[in-house]
Structure 1
């Protein structure tokens, strides 16, 4: 992917790594396949993207890497059971802090955003279980709304701008206040 960007544009200053799958299951019934697939996409994939981006950015002495984690990295969401997802996103946050402190003295910052519940096609699909969860999430979020993708843009713009020159390893939670309660 990085090679394609470099081929098309000649340089890479910003990397946005947004990967995530979730499979719901009771922890005692989470299969090895489910665990491994979730870690491969949500954590390993993000790491390998960061690594590939940083190899180029570190040579240039400048870069901004933004990973997408989740509020599920810092809280246990309920009632859905998602041990693999929560664990993988907690890994993304800690990996972001680790890479952010490792590379910052060479001009590359690494930060992440942790969205709360976000209004997606899956949530709006009309599936009864999703509609019930959506209602619960709306009631439990202080702003009484789910995020739109546009609600997340400001945080990403900040982290990729010169305003964030002294920011690295940050987990910017953007959840409508959900984790405050």
Structure 2
């Protein structure tokens, strides 16, 4: 099954939500992929976000974590935390996955790897989450290409370290637009499809311990504010969308060894480790188990929850 890279048109070129252009061979591949997902979904056991019934067999609890027949979207999934979580979900049996990112080379390579490793239908969509029209176009394309969306992980984000007195309005706004406004734009676009489909779903926001505490000694007021906003946005949507069986939760990492943090290694890594009770930074894979739990029926009665995974940083 071929990997198809889909590049939604810029907002000023979009004529309708589904104007993504594909070659004939690509359209055939997308059609085959969509048909395979629909067939798999039809043959799978009905999903339930309300109750979990224990199957009468040994080790049934592990079946609660299976994602067979489901389709996930991961923003910022080309590398780092987003890719690690995408990889974990694919290992649990996803039928389809869409990676939304600005970095085409990394995004396409990520899809190739996931398809090669798990046989999952993997699609890459180049998107800037700050562009609401382009986001809606991309999400519509995912539904058209893969048939549905059951899971959304909102991992796209940026950070910079600037003293508050020197922060330019444009630079501050960029962090808020990507981390907070971009999360809302993607959640809203996917939420509309989930509501219309009537099957419910799971939306996982990537917050940060920075949404609960103020990191020190680095100056990052915009990042802290954006992640506090992400966590409260998650709780607001959890309350609003519970009636549609859409669960919204957040994972809030502590200091992690990711490309986003690598540039600060010389200056801050030693300090971060010293302030973390476990005396180390987290690895991207250490979020995967929580992401799988929140994405699957194993967490069917969990919504509005922020899960801190920070090596004990926030208990001090």
With normalisation by structure 2, the TM-score equals 0.55
Whether 2:301 is the aligned partner of 1:163: answer: no
Whether 2:284 is the aligned partner of 1:152: answer: no
Instruction: Trace 1:41-52 onto structure 2 (pairs within 5 A).
Output: 41-52=178-189
The CA distance in 2 between the partners of 1:139 and 1:132, in whole Å, is 13
The CA distance in 2 between the partners of 1:32 and 1:10, in whole Å, is 41
Give the 3-state SS of the residue equivalent to 1:134 in structure 2: helix
Whether 2:159 is the aligned partner of 1:17: answer: no
Give the 3-state SS of the residue equivalent to 1:173 in structure 2: strand
Whether 2:311 is the aligned partner of 1:176: answer: yes
Partner of 1:100: 238
Q: Name the structure, 1 or 2, with higher relative contact order (CA <8 Å, separation 6+).
A: 1
Query: Does the 8 Å CA contact 1:100/1:108 hold for their aligned counterparts?
Result: yes
Give the 3-state SS of the residue equivalent to 1:64 in structure 2: strand
Partner of 1:6: 143
Partner of 2:214: 76
Partner of 2:255: 117
Q: Alpha-carbon deviation of 1:143?
A: 1.2
Moved more, 18-27 or 67-76: 18-27
The CA distance in 2 between the partners of 1:123 and 1:45, in whole Å, is 20
Q: Alpha-carbon deviation of 1:60?
A: 2.1
RMSD: 1.3
The CA distance in 1 between the partners of 2:191 and 2:172, in whole Å, is 27
Listed one character per residue, the Cα deviations across residues 46-79 of structure 1 (whole Å, up to 9, x for unaligned) are: 0000000100001223110001111000000011
Query: Does the 8 Å CA contact 1:114/1:173 hold for their aligned counterparts?
Result: yes
Larger helix proportion of the pair: 1
Partner of 1:142: 277
Q: Alpha-carbon deviation of 1:105?
A: 1.5
Query: Does the 8 Å CA contact 1:112/1:172 hold for their aligned counterparts?
Result: yes
Q: Which runs of 5+ in 2 are unaligned?
A: 1-137
Give the 3-state SS of the residue equivalent to 2:252 in structure 1: strand
The CA distance in 1 between the partners of 2:261 and 2:166, in whole Å, is 24
Listed one character per residue, the Cα deviations across residues 89-111 of structure 1 (whole Å, up to 9, x for unaligned) are: 00000000000111012110111
Query: Does the 8 Å CA contact 2:158/2:260 hold for their aligned counterparts?
Result: no
Query: Does the 8 Å CA contact 1:123/1:131 hold for their aligned counterparts?
Result: no
Aligned equivalent of 1:54, options 191, 203, 223? 191
Q: Alpha-carbon deviation of 1:121?
A: 3.3
Partner of 1:28: 165
Runs of 4+ deviating beyond 6 Å: none
Query: Does the 8 Å CA contact 1:66/1:110 hold for their aligned counterparts?
Result: yes
Query: Does the 8 Å CA contact 1:74/1:90 hold for their aligned counterparts?
Result: yes
Q: Which has the larger radius of gyration?
A: 2
